Amino acid sequence: MRPKPETIANLSVQEYCFSKKQIRGIVEASQFKWTFIWSFNNGLLQVNPPLGRALIEGALLRFLLKKDYELEAGNEYKFTISARF
């Protein structure tokens, strides 16, 4: 059996602002790098640049929803994406 494809994504939280209800950060996977803003009050996720956004957006949102109360500004996190980039 062949192993399932996966990519490790590295996420760095730049800012966690409870008054704005936003998390800003950077996520990197393979050769791609994106910035993101997650407005957790209304569940909106903005990912830039658009190149490769479809690869990361769903997995990033699932990670943020699962770990939002554990995230802190200045820390780095890893999560696995079930695809090879």
Record the pTM: 0.90
Task: Flag whether pLDDT at 23 surpasses 90.
Answer: yes
- Nearest CA to 55 among 14, 3, 9? 9
- Please answer whether residues 32 and 58 qualify as being in contact, where contact means their C-beta atoms are separated by less than 8 angstroms: no
Task: Quick: pLDDT tens for 26-74.
Answer: 999 999 999 999 999 998 999 999 998 998 999 999 999 999 889 999 9
What average pLDDT does range 9-25 have in this prediction? 96
- Nearest CA to 80 among 36, 30, 15, 22? 30
Give domain limits for the chain. 7-71
